[in-house]
Structure 1
Amino acid sequence: VDSPVPGVAQVGVTPMALRRTSQRNLSRSDHERLLLVKSMSTTAELDAAMPHSTRRSSALFNFNVPGDMDQEDAEDVLMEANRSPMPKFPQGAKLGTHLNCYSEPDPSNFHVRGAKYLSDRKKFPSGDFIFPIRGVDLFLTDTCPENAGSNRGVFGGNLREKPTFIINFRLPWGVLLAYFEIPERFIPFIKACYDPAFDKSSLPSLKGMSPSDRCVARYLQASDKKKDQVLKIVPIVVEGPWIVKTTVGGKPAILGTKLPVTYIYQPAEKGKALYLEADLDIVSSSAARGILSVARAYTQVLTLDLGFVVQGNTDDELPEQMLVGTRLHGIDPISAPPFPPSKDVFFRSADITDSEESL
């Protein structure tokens, strides 16, 4: 697939997204296209720049659901059309040669508190991520929903196959969803926090755990208010313009002090694994919006590492170890698919089509 940036493969662009992109930008130069991304604050503004026929097909997710198709089959078809999740960056490829994909970064890129940090203040490269990455989604939407994990279309419909920790970046124009597998040893601590029926006397002992596992177990078991005090984000610009590197900085920040964070727990049920979702309300944070306004003008030329670590505050929680991390390669918001439709869309699609055709 040809990319709007010369010499760059756009492996993450779906056929549906390509149709929207080509219609929106038929006469746009690459420079004009970057300016469009820079000025975009909502999908409504983006639609305003599109031809009426393109807006109409976009409203219908560029896909007509047959009237005789039942709801579950229609959801499956639309999930296939969305091509979720985002593809992985090709192993061994040179940075900057592929757009719209993700990879797992080297955890040693992140420096964390050492075993004697409380006395010597020294940091060291992290060991392996505690929760391995499952994948990433990027969707366009004006609603920026909470509890994205409840939508059958996210992660290609396979979210509930494994216990998953979801980080939902609620942006002004969409959602960026990162998915990480929760190791079985941490499940009891999540239940201890959110399941009133869970017998806390059955919790595994913290004494035999490594310091980093102990720190994470305490985080998962803690109230949401206490979680806000210890979960840190560590952003690193691997490749990108100087202005973005200066703005993003790369220093750890306690999330709960920078923006609202909402936790949603969905227990395991009927063969479906549990998930814990952390919704980060970027829209409500002036500081986060400021950083985003700078970064989004250069998204296609950015390689960005996003890491999260639970802060170790006592000797028995040190050294720290990165909880999760993902690397984003040349993310192009214009090419992202729409957020998978809610269930009622399937019953309204025919009515929408009729009303649109009468315009």
Structure 2
Amino acid sequence: MATTTTTKPIAAGGEVSEVELSETGSPDVGSQSSGSGSGSGGGRSTAEYSGWVYHLGVNSIGHEYSHLRFLVIRGKSVAMYKREPGEEPGIQPIRKGVVSVTLMVEELGRRIINNGEYYALRFYNRLDQTKKGEIACRSPGEAQKWIEAFEQAKQQADYDLMTRGVSWNRSQNKNELNLDGHRRRVRRYARGLGKLVRIGKGPERLLRQSSDLKSHEIVNTNFGGDSGDAFEAHEWRYVRTFNGIRIFEDIANSKGGKGVLLKSVGVVGANPDTVFEVLLSLDKYKRYGWDMLTADLELVETIDGHYDVVYGTYEPKYLNWWKVKKDFIFSRQWFRGQDGAYTVLQSPASHTKKPPRHGYERTKINSSTWELRRLNTPGSSTPNCLVTHMLEMTPSFWDRWKRRHSSNFDRSIAFALLNQVAGLREYFAANPALTSDFPSTVVKPTASDSLITQSELEDSEPNDEFYDALARGESFEDEDSDDDDVMIPKAGKVKFKNVSWAIASFSMKPSKASVEKSELVTNVTPVTIDSNHFHGTLHRAKSEDETNSWSEPGGENFMIRGKTYLTDYTKVVGGDPLLKLIAVDWFKADERFDSVALHPKSLVQSEAGKKIPFILVVNLQVPAKPNYNLVMYYAAERPVNKGSLLDRFINGSDAFRDARFKLIPSIVEGYWMVKRAVGTKACLLGKAVACNYLRQDNFLEIDVDIGSSTVARSIIGLVLGYVTSIVVDLAILIEAKEETELPEYILGTVRLNRANPDTAVPI
């Protein structure tokens, strides 16, 4: 979908309508006021996002529909129109509602609708999943823009809830909220909301052109290499250049792989969203422009929105040392990271719908991965994407080529795959219409610029949340006799000071003493935590080689935000964890199991556990048959400082926790494709999956529902297939967003050494 982003700052003194929560919890319409005012939300300017989407659903007689609609988000209010309000003044929304702090947005991935490829989003209430609705966009990048827009709306709802709760909490406990600690964050947030953002160029270009979604947000990393937030064992060595594309070999001899890893790296003049769409497209006329091997593809089966199986044929016209026609089947899994980077996994597969074909020789395509990362070149408005294609091949063939430099490699499947990067580069160079990035248009808004007017908000239903509005049944005539409906057509055409992580950063890592001083009460005698008093179902490793065990690594293998991150995006090596890992449980159950800490046999409920000042319980809920629970218990030897970042996280709202709870994964040992799928980038768990929080007594439990996301389910399914042969490190932390919160510190770490699902204890 062709898309541009239009940002229009609120002019000084410009009037905007406000939505506030009254004492009864109903949204009231506040008086129009200037964007620089103060008070209980009266002067907060609100963000407005708008654009074209497809509303998906089932009407009263069971007919599936997909209607083109104009969606507007203003503050926490949402309205859906049949036509664009700016072009038809006075038009009334056909659906409207509000966003609550319990709204969850799940990316469902690619979906075939009326022979067109779209990217669907599902909305639901995490407390009541019967309340739900779906929309679809033409590109994954645009879907991500809507996710961010709804996240802003949740922040607005959380702000209103927090503002309403101030008087209540003050009457109960004066120390419950620290207004001084939150004030700077709230002011910064309010300033950042004074804008109108347009997502999408409109239905004409939406229907007729492929996506050129523009991403103008600040990206905090320079993707000049395999950058991440944890160190990897790969050691890449340049060996040759083909068609201007560099070829590298992994010489680290990492454990868990069966062959030699090669990768080709090149810069493509387009944004990652556009490259991704071309890469996954099955349109042979597009693929003929850049792909000499897998251009003739057809879809065999769609597993889910992030996983499919394709069948392809190849006639040996160019790799002419082949004597027969070839066909092949492979699966494709793809993920979009929170930083906008894409990972695509391709593996040989088989399928009953595609048995061996007469006249063709069935062959296997090398296991491979694609990684697409945006490159931000200072002073350049041209979009650039770093494309990395990594594949595995047999050591004997590669060694023969290196010794003899046989020309046969230039006519092998591996060469054809590595050369696809060069094909993509030239394809986009020859099609400049696909590669341009238009700058944001900045204008001053007028009174008519607001797409959701005050009068429209006055008659909105107080308790009608957004997913209720989507799911609320309308008449069959309203949905299907709409003369303006457009049916979905067939598919058409950390910034680092040093890329090598900078050895000097080791001297910049936060010291545990300084972290403890700011986060914990240091003028009291620490509680002695005897590990002999705490035993989980997964035992602690006595040696590095012990399998089905856990240990507690330090933070030196992780990169976190440094003191100057807000100005130069520099990350530093992590220091020692603030909290001590005292036990790990490995459970299995027929259904997802919450509130582990309340179980009578939980170590949190033991006499020794009750004496600990604070315990953080992280319950990773792994969807499988049966379901698994990996529960980690982190203890503080001292009480938590009032007003500290940790205190605000422990006693704050769920929305605040969702926006701050971060996990950094790292596969230390294991199969290379699992490593690429998991990656090493930090992930805000509350934005990726549903997290439920239980705050009682001396503990906070975080139940992480991995099954709430199709992307997370797909990744965890891959990991479980190799879990008995991998070693994984995890670091948890609270993301720092203010200068006073920097540098970041690591809350806790864990190393899981070749966990065995069969040893999980029933609960």
Give the TM-score normalised by the residue count of structure 1: 0.59
Aligned residue in 2 for 1:244: 674
Aligned residue in 1 for 2:474: none
Aligned residue in 2 for 1:233: 663
Q: 1:338 to 1:326 in 2, by over 3 A?
A: same
State which of 561, 575, 586 in structure 2 corresponds to 1:127.
Answer: 575
* CA positional deviation for 1:224: 1.2
Contact 2:597-2:605 at 8 Å conserved across structures: no
State which of 289, 300, 306 in structure 1 corresponds to 2:724.
Answer: 300
Spell out the pairing of 1:73-222 with structure 2 (5 A cutoff).
Answer: 84-90=536-542, 93-94=543-544, 97-155=545-603, 158=606, 159-162=609-612, 163-172=614-623, 173-186=627-640, 204=642, 206=643, 214-222=644-652
Contact 1:133-1:326 at 8 Å conserved across structures: yes
* CA positional deviation for 1:154: 3.2
* CA positional deviation for 1:156: 9.4
Q: What CA distance in whole angstroms lies between the structure 1 residues aligned with 2:536 and 2:685?
A: 27
Q: Which consecutive unaligned segments of at least 5 residues does structure 2 have?
A: 1-534
Q: What CA distance in whole angstroms lies between the structure 1 residues aligned with 2:564 and 2:649?
A: 21
* CA positional deviation for 1:217: 2.8
Q: Which consecutive unaligned segments of at least 5 residues does structure 1 have?
A: 1-82, 189-203, 207-213, 268-273, 340-359
Q: What CA distance in whole angstroms lies between the structure 2 residues aligned with 1:118 and 1:179?
A: 32
* CA positional deviation for 1:157: 6.7
Aligned residue in 1 for 2:735: 311
Q: Give aligned-pair identity as a percent.
A: 29
Q: What CA distance in whole angstroms lies between the structure 2 residues aligned with 1:123 and 1:279?
A: 28
The structure in which a higher percent of residues are strand is 2
Letter in structure 1 aligned against 2:630: L
Letter in structure 1 aligned against 2:647: A
SS of residue in 1 equivalent to 2:743: coil
Measured against aligned partners, the alpha-carbon deviations of 1:267-306 in whole angstroms (never above 9, x if no partner) come to 1xxxxxx221000011111111111011001111111111
Aligned residue in 1 for 2:707: 283
Letter in structure 2 aligned against 1:175: N
Structure with greater Cα Rg: 2
The structure in which a higher percent of residues are helix is 1
Letter in structure 2 aligned against 1:150: L
Between the two proteins, the alignment pairs up a number of residues equal to 223
Contact 1:85-1:154 at 8 Å conserved across structures: no
State which of 749, 756, 761 in structure 2 corresponds to 1:325.
Answer: 749
Measured against aligned partners, the alpha-carbon deviations of 1:66-109 in whole angstroms (never above 9, x if no partner) come to xxxxxxxxxxxxxxxxx73321111xx34xx3221101012111
Q: What CA distance in whole angstroms lies between the structure 1 residues aligned with 2:546 and 2:594?
A: 30
Measured against aligned partners, the alpha-carbon deviations of 1:289-329 in whole angstroms (never above 9, x if no partner) come to 11101100111111111111111111111110111111111
SS of residue in 2 equivalent to 1:229: helix
SS of residue in 2 equivalent to 1:115: coil
Contact 1:127-1:321 at 8 Å conserved across structures: yes
Give the TM-score normalised by the residue count of structure 2: 0.28
Spell out the pairing of 1:260-271 with structure 2 (5 A cutoff).
Answer: 260-267=690-697
Q: What CA distance in whole angstroms lies between the structure 2 residues aligned with 1:175 and 1:289?
A: 14
Contact 2:598-2:605 at 8 Å conserved across structures: no
Q: What CA distance in whole angstroms lies between the structure 1 residues aligned with 2:730 and 2:605?
A: 24
Letter in structure 1 aligned against 2:580: P
Q: Which has the higher contact order (CA 8 A, sep 6+)?
A: 1
